[in-house]
Structure 1
């Protein structure tokens, strides 16, 4: 590992997903000392494979992260298993406390802890999420192409999601569930695309021999389908960011879509020395996007350190 600067690690990265590992590798290659703190609970763990990642299409999430850790180790970076529970500023840097009480001092802090998917409260959805219950057509659309898809509306984006998934199948229904009926203009769009709207609250998924057979409504009606598309509320939450005074804000489409922490395009925040990358600040970033953001933010962070060091040397 590259030697710490004046006894402190240059950068602590909280979150060891694609954004965090990509950032850490970039920093380590820039000869920075870097420690990644990771709880080992990636958002996409239920998925069979990562898609849309150039040259790595179909790789399992676990294998992708294991490969990233190996690459980081080659450049002297270190992964520390555990969670960061608190953080505070100190001497133009940060102190990060882990669940076991260890305190890591760092000149800069990069948070890449991702987000949590708040799924519809429907029996069977959570258990099959990432299999035949999907949310992103660019991640899973190919795998469910041509199948019977039921879009389970649970927020303001139901119609949008139905029109989007229609690209992958011509056998699609929109279940209004707990949302309002589509507005007249939306209803016309759905009808033009041959999308049937089914009103009524969804009670559960019908599973037979570990196969999805359909969606059962509260009134007893069965809507047959091979896959269910959901729109989870995406929420970024971090005790570390809260400790440092950074507060989450609503997605541009509203709190019902999700909450995220604000950052500049470079990843810098209003808290000096605190940087963000990946889903914690961009709810819609896919795996390859988050990894790219990690590299870009790391480069900006490294340049900020260079300018700080240059100013100190000039003095």
Structure 2
């Protein structure tokens, strides 16, 4: 798993509980790092994104088949029956790769907006499926 945000952490938990060996590679630079509190996320209302991530990582550490590393993936190469992921620190061989790297917002060029981003101003991302 590449990416340790809510989606990546949740997927790692499900795969780990299914007894698969899972490696999570995360650079600890979350997209929502400017958010002081998260709201509407059951059992985590009013917690910071960092607190939620730490709670999730503590849940994952209960499983001996889940490994967490802090690193950046620089390259992935397909070797037909496996992949090689080159990080800044390692070369890793895996059978499968899941990318859960999130999106990056573009803050509109409005004077003063950046100073309140994550506190009074947020960017909402919506995805519509179907017609």
- TM-score, scaled relative to structure 2: 0.89
2:62 counterpart of 1:74: yes
- The equivalent of 2:99 in structure 1 is 111
2:126 corresponds to 1:284: yes
Task: Tell me the distance in 1 between the aligned counterparts of 2:18 and 2:79.
Answer: 24
- Kept in 1, the 8 Å contact 2:77–2:85? The answer is yes
Q: Which has more radius of gyration?
A: 1
**2 CA distance for matches of 1:82 and 1:33?**
18
Aligned to 1:192: none
1:3-34 CA deviation, whole Å, 9 max, x = no partner? xxxxxxxxxx0000101111111111111111
The CA distance in 1 between the partners of 2:35 and 2:108, in whole Å, is 18
Structure 1 segments, 4+ long, off by >6 Å, are: none
1:227-253 alpha-carbon deviations (Å, 9 max, x no partner): xxxxxxxxxxxxxxxxxxxxxxxxxxx
- Distance in 2 separating the partners of 1:91 and 1:72: 30
Separation in 1, partners of 2:67, 2:59: 10
Two-structure CA RMSD over aligned residues (Å): 1.4
SS in 2 for 1:87: strand
Higher helix fraction (1 or 2): 1
- Listed as ranges, the gaps of 5+ residues in structure 2 are none
Instruction: Output one character per residue of 1:181-220: Cα deviation in whole Å (capped at 9) or x when no partner.
Output: xxxxxxxxxxxxxxxxxxxxxxxxxxxxxxxxxxxxxxxx
Q: 1 or 2, which has the higher strand percentage? A: 1
The whole-number CA distance in structure 2 between the counterparts of 1:114 and 1:46 is: 15
Structure with the bigger RCO (C-alpha within 8 Å, sep 6+) is 2
